[in-house]
A and B are shown apart, each in its own frame.
Chain A
Amino acid sequence: MAPLVGRAAALNGLIAFLALACGGEAPRAGAPSESGPAGGTAIVAFNAEMGSFNPLVNSDQNTNEVIYYMLFTPLVQYDESLEPRPYLAESWELEPEAVTFRLNREARWHDGRPVTASDVEFTFERAKNPETASVLSSAYLELVESAQAIDSFTVRFEFSRPHARPLDGFWWAPVPRHLLEEIAPADMVRAPFNRQPVGSGPFRFAGWEAGERITLVRNPDFPESLGGPPHLDRVIFRFIGEPATLLSEALTGQVDVNGSLFPHQAEQVERTPGVRLLSYPSREYYYIGWNVRRPLLRDPRVRRALTMALDRQQLIDVLMYGYGQLATGTIAPWHPMFTAIEPLPFDPGAAGALLAAAGYLDRDGDGVRATEDGTPLRLTLMTNHENPVRVDIAQVAQSRLSRIGVAIDVRTLEWQTLLARHRGREFDAVVQSWVLDNFRVDPAALFHSSQADRPGSYNRSGLKDVEVDRLIEAATATTDPEVAKRLWAEFSTALQAAQPFTFLMWLDELSSISERVEGVEMDARGTLVSVADWWIAPELRKYVSERGN
């Protein structure tokens, strides 16, 4: 189909028709005056299909954004500075070991029933029930012990102990009790609801053509106290796995927002008229994970030396086209708890000296350092071949480290195979990345010694560092944000000294956006964070009925 831009002028009448079809609402009150009447369709494309529209069991990030910003109403929502602000919970009373939320009384499920404290309580109980295997339980509710609906719109949660930033534990959306109560917890993951959700957010679910598209439509009844109905009539999600195909769709105007843009494609977006590039901090960091159980890697000096031999800024500039930020730890630079610490310098000379001090010398002149008993400093660096940037990183690391006398064998594996090795601790070093799925700071799963020997845990490097342990425990226990921030800074310094990972970079997220779609803002909260404010000028709207024309 050819783009319909040219026909747009003739379509104003039809837009009115569509507005009627969606409930015949008057233009959104309080909308920016320049946006004109509500209406229009935006096409958003990602490289993978969505997961499950059930907040209890979904774990896919793009789907989560749809849940948080379009279909459902989480108890709290984050503002630009990542501080929790009221949303479904319009106010709260925070005590050291409990919080009481008062819910917005105007919130409605899309079938018309009110969203009540009973729904919140039900969601909590299902999430805490181990049989549900809900991702919410460990991601948010680890320190929340019980929930109790006090009246229809008041709910109280008790904590198992006082802790820092307790509201971070409530960035999740309740599900409707009346539609899910009959589903056994273990079957929640297969509930038909998950693919035809009844939510409570500014957009309603309208249809899912598997492999092709998901359509959400404007919820004209979304209460003003929660921000009011959105401007757009429809948001259609498309799923295009091949990056070049997706880019073609975006550059020719058939996809309005490309939410899966790669750094090497950014320049082409900038050169194309009618499309603009948006770059914003992501929640993903790249790292080289070292297996500290390996005798060769046991000494933290060795791990620091390996980091110092890598020009990490160059990796960002060359492989990421500058779209990234040097990483020094697991707390993201945009997070309120972040304190900048001096990164380990790129200094191959000092790195060599550290290795020598640790007892690694090139004893036989073959260019590879070895221990006193002749074991060469030779490591296998693994990564997965599906991600060409990681393979490039591994190869650059190989060449850089050979200059300080460390022999690296690069092995590229299929992702699942790599993961199996990494999880099974059968590795020396891996190039990998983690994506934060929420804004809680809790690196215990990755670095606490209690996780080092647990099978299947995430402390795959096997770090056991008393100082790191102590600071994680102290920082998660304090209720004073200032103290917590100071402790996290100390933690970052301790982690840098231990260097179980070579932290490479925090990636920038990239999106291409059609100029016809306005009001688009994106940040670490996600691609869709401002979707309720997106708007399209009436003369630029397209995708309307041909029938009767």
Chain B
Amino acid sequence: MTAYIFRRLLQAIPLVFGILTLVFVILQVAPGDPMAIYMHPSVAPEVLEQMRENYGLDQPVHIQYVRWLKSFLSGDLGTSLTQNRPIAAILAERIPNTLLLSGTSLLLIFAIGIAIGIVQAVRQHSKLDHALTLGALFIYSMPSFWLGLMLILILAYRVHWVEWWPEALKFPPSGMDSVNYDLLSTWGKFTDRLDHLVLPSIALGVSSAASVARYTRSSMLEVIRQDYIRTARAKGLPERTVILKHALKNALLPIITLLGLYLPFLFSGAVLVEVVFAWPGMGRAIYDAIQQRDYPTVMATTFVFAVMVVIANLIADILYAVVDPRIRYERERR
């Protein structure tokens, strides 16, 4: 297994390198100027030229690329052109925030998705099944940023004018914590953070949860028809044990692979959700950087996203082997 992981990571290097080169080229081809934010009739063109020189943007493209690559390989991600501080420092602040949001979403996706899928499979063709199918399709087709705005409109805004609505179900529309976070007790901090996570993690995860539910349903239905389930029922096991212990374990196998598919999806979804909810994560950083043509920051955030996706896929493959003992990644010696 270790050899397999090592091989996979090695294979990822040219992939990530290719992605970065492609992004660099696209950024150079796209019209735009990182100095645009400084353009103003009271800022003379010579001042802008000097800024370009200070940032090394006056160099030919290939030299900029080689320079960037050199410092990148030596572990220096460069300096942001808009925040004017080391990109490594920006990433160190932002990555944990995005992981927190997507991690929570991931939990939500699988917990809700699998639960609904099981209910649907067990009650196949019931009214509940149809209703849930319809609901899942509805939610699945909603763009996350729109859903986010609707959640804010209803659960963070309208409910403030509904007298009987419980205080605990009024959620903050933006940010990671309250402005008095530092003054809160440990428990207060925990609930405050949780409170802020509710809306964005739902917005980010709910459409994937809907599709997990669909997958779980079909996978469960397939497993339930197998002989060993009939055997389990025949030997008089309670239905609960049959479903949750015997059926679910095998039905989850294809679901695990979804993990690898959803993680990249979560990261890209986070871009819009973070903007809507003012969540200070990687997504917002990459969004701002692209808009302002902050080239080094775009490159660095793309790099992090690419690595996260590679790792996510790897984790999915490893998990696959863990749940299904038939799958082996090591070649047998002859």
Contact = CB atoms under 8 A, between A and B. Distances in A.
Interface string B138-175: 00000000000100110011001000000110101111
A458 B47 CA distance: 13
Interface in B118-134: none
A190 B85 contact: yes
B93 A210 contact: yes
Given A139-B43, A212-B280, A545-B183, A245 B173 contact: yes
B317 interface: no
Interface of A: 1-2, 4, 41, 43, 49, 51-52, 59-60, 130-131, 133-135, 137-139, 142, 186, 189-190, 192, 194-195, 209-213, 236, 238-242, 244-246, 248-249, 251-252, 254, 415-417, 419-421, 423, 434-435, 437-438, 440, 442-443, 445-446, 454-458, 542-547
Interface string B37-58: 1111111111111110010000
Contacts of A142: 44
Interface of B: 30-33, 36-51, 54, 79, 82-85, 90, 93-94, 97, 149, 152-153, 156-157, 160, 167-168, 170, 172-180, 183-185, 188, 192, 195, 275-278, 280-281, 284-285, 288, 291, 293
A137 B46 CA distance: 11
B168 to A, nearest CB: 8
Given A135-B38, A254-B172, A458-B41, A543 B180 contact: yes
Nearest to B272: A242
Given A1-B195, A415-B291, A241 B284 contact: yes
Given A212-B176, A241-B275, A455-B45, 14 more contacts: A1-B172, A49-B288, A59-B40, A138-B43, A209-B93, A212-B280, A241-B278, A242-B278, A245-B149, A248-B157, A254-B172, A254-B173, A458-B40, A546-B188
A547 B183 contact: yes
Contacts of B192: 1
A17 B83 CA distance: 35
Contact of A138 (B42, B157, B167, B285): B42
Contact of B179 (A41, A138, A189, A239): A41
Given A1-B172, A420-B32, A131 B50 contact: yes
B34 to A, nearest CB: 9
Contacts of A543: 178-180, 183
Contacts of B94: 210-211
Q: Which of B36, B168, B293 has the most CB of A within 10 A?
A: B36
Nearest to A185: B54
Contact of A134 (B47, B176, B185): B47
Nearest to A49: B288
Nearest to A210: B93
A137 B47 contact: yes
Contacts of B39: 419, 423, 458
B309 to A, nearest CB: 22
Given A135-B47, A211-B94, A251-B157, A190 B79 contact: yes
A2 B167 contact: yes
B156 A252 contact: yes
A417 B168 CA distance: 46
B50 to A, nearest CB: 4
25 contacts: A1-B172, A1-B192, A2-B170, A59-B38, A135-B38, A189-B51, A190-B84, A190-B85, A245-B149, A245-B152, A245-B174, A248-B173, A249-B173, A249-B174, A251-B157, A419-B36, A440-B42, A442-B42, A443-B41, A542-B180, A543-B183, A544-B183, A546-B184, A546-B185, A547-B183
